[in-house]
A and B are shown apart, each in its own frame.
Chain A
Amino acid sequence: MKRLLVYLLMGALYLLHNDLWAWNDSRMVLGLPVGLTYHVLFCFAVVGVMWLALRWAWPRDVDPAEVEQR
């Protein structure tokens, strides 16, 4: 279940990368144009999802000995 959640989050990130809503918006947010701020924050969101992936969705077929140790 957790593995599935991680995969869904990865898919959601792929969709969220296409921020059509801020395309022509030049407002400043956190000191940068919103179109840039969004994508910097997006990088942090990827870190969070990949951290979950390492905890919950580590590939089962990679180094089985290591998986057993954990």
Chain B
Amino acid sequence: MTLAVVIAYLGLVLVIGVLSHRLAAVTGEDYFVASRTIGPFVLLMTLFGTHMTAFALLGASAESYRVGIGVFSLMASSSALMVPLVFFFVGTRVWSIGKRLSLLTQVQFVRERWGSDALGLALFVVLVLLLVPYLLIGVMGGGITLAEVTDGQVPTWVGGLLVSVVVVAYVSYGGLRGTSWVNTFQTSLFMVLGAVTVTVIVSRLGGLEAAFARLREAEPAMLVRGERISPIQLLSYTLIPLSVGMFPHIFVHWLSARSAAAFRAPVALYPLCIAVVWVPSVLLGIFGHLDFPELQGPEANSVLVRMIALHAPGILGGLLGAGVFAAIMSSLDSQSLSIGNMFTQDVVRHYRRRAGRPELSESQTVWVGRLFVFAVVALTFGLSLVVNRRIFGLAVWSFTGFSALLPILLAGLFWRRSTAVGAAASLVTVVVTWIWFFVRAWGRPDYSVGGTGLDPVAVVFGASVLAMLVGSLASRPPDEAAIERFMPR
């Protein structure tokens, strides 16, 4: 029954994606940024759904199982503050410039802002490499979910394959418009079902008060931050949500807005959406100790789904499993589309133009995009079969890289004196410091800089800012005319 409900849900998602295609025009701009027509409500829901992935449900509940309630302050409330700030200060300006200059990707932004082809190509490579682990989170999360809600009857790889096939189908068919529609449906679903899940399970545990009383007896450390999170870690972690400013999949959704006013809903209501999704995830993670006290390592990734399977089997279990699928697919779709967009615009079209070959027709552009979406998802699925790391760990490393790239975009938007040399220095610094910390932290999930609690993102981000400043000031001032296109006085 559970499997039937999940499959019915996936069918419904496909129908919505297909219906959206009826409104689509066969142009590259419609396929990749929905002809810049998305209104406030859909923009809020699709931005939120895209940002919240398996990480927010499976990863957050798993990390809460390990660390306790502090996960909410570490990742959720810090996102509730930093993400709206990024939308407010950065997203609105990106939209404005993107509309004025007909930009479709971050790489185009960087190429045109500083007039450097090599810088654009380097950024393209880094963005794709950082996005792959993030994509993996979704596919692996789909596999874990389906295996757990069916009590192991469906192998993990089948869930990953199912998620991949459905996403490829509706993204290929509906483009960003279809993705936004489906995301709005899926985001509404996982927000509602998150609340339903926690209500049902807490009720089965005897109510909130009783559940907390039992937890206080069994694992009192779950109720405080204590030694598991340090104050310096909390402070440095506030840089992680800045990654939202450099995610290619968020960038394309910004560009899809109908007007600057469409950003008002995401800016004001995002923190509420965060609370609605993260409170249930954190509660179910810590209450997992009451039913599954001995989960070790990667086993904890499935604590949420185990709780669902134990307390809400049958149709409700299937619906709740569908809610997890919704969260996963609402990110995977935008991520794969954004990579397809970058390959199409920044590689195929850009280098055809440079080679003097004729422009692709609108129809050809769309088909090239579809091909890349398929290739990216297929590659991710293949990798998901051989990779086995904690979901949350994968996400944080990906976020660290994206956060540390934000100074490049900030300089492009706000600093007239910034130069291509500064941006290149920042990019190289991010790559080098990121690899340095990644290697040092390999196999050490609780790694911090010098054992101080400081998250590596603080150092990588700081080094990125410094490199931008030094590189720009040490190089020749940029051409005033080029700056005027992006920052008119």
Contacts and interface: CB of A to CB of B under 8 A. Distances in A.
B216 A26 contact: yes
Nearest to A26: B223
B76 A24 contact: no
A63 B96 CA distance: 6
Given A17-B77, A24-B226, A59 B89 contact: yes
B330 interface: no
Contact of A18 (B76, B85, B231, B271): B231
A39 B73 contact: yes
B78 A17 contact: yes
A7 to B, nearest CB: 10
B81 A54 contact: no
Nearest to B234: A18
Tell me the interface secondary structure of chain A in the complex: helix
A60 to B, nearest CB: 11
B267 A50 contact: yes
Contacts of B84: 46, 50
- By CB atoms of chain B within 10 A, which of A36, A47, A51 has the most? A36
Interface string A56-70: 000101110010000
A19 B76 CA distance: 14
Contact of A35 (B85, B225, B235, B271): B225
Tell me the interface secondary structure of chain B in the complex: helix
A48 to B, nearest CB: 9
Given A46-B80, A46-B271, A53-B267, A24 B225 contact: yes
Interface in B163-204: none
A24 B224 contact: yes
Nearest to A64: B96
Interface stretch (B143-151, B274-282, B474-482): B274-282
Given A40-B275, A50-B267, A63-B259, A33 B238 contact: no
B267 A23 contact: no
Interface in B84-137: 84-85, 88-89, 92-93, 95-96
Nearest to B273: A43
A43 B271 contact: yes
Chain A residues touching B, range: 20 to 34
B268 interface: yes
B261 A33 contact: no
A21 B238 CA distance: 18
A63 B275 CA distance: 31
Contacts of A26: 216, 220, 223-224
A43 B76 CA distance: 9
Contacts of B208: 31-32
B89 to A, nearest CB: 7
Contacts of B282: 36
A5 interface: no
Contacts of B268: 47, 50-51, 54
Contact of B77 (A33, A43, A61): A43
A20 B232 CA distance: 10
Contacts of B225: 23-24, 35
B3 to A, nearest CB: 34
Contacts of A33: 69, 212, 223-224
B315 to A, nearest CB: 29
Nearest to A42: B77
A54 B76 CA distance: 22
A59 B94 CA distance: 12
B393 to A, nearest CB: 23
B454 to A, nearest CB: 14
B96 A23 contact: no
B77 A35 contact: no
- 9 nearest CB pairs, A to B: A39-B77, A63-B260, A26-B223, A43-B271, A46-B271, A33-B223, A43-B275, A43-B80, A36-B69
Given A26-B220, A32-B69, A63-B260, 14 more contacts: A14-B81, A23-B224, A33-B223, A35-B224, A36-B279, A43-B77, A46-B81, A47-B269, A59-B88, A61-B93, A62-B95, A63-B96, A63-B261, A66-B260
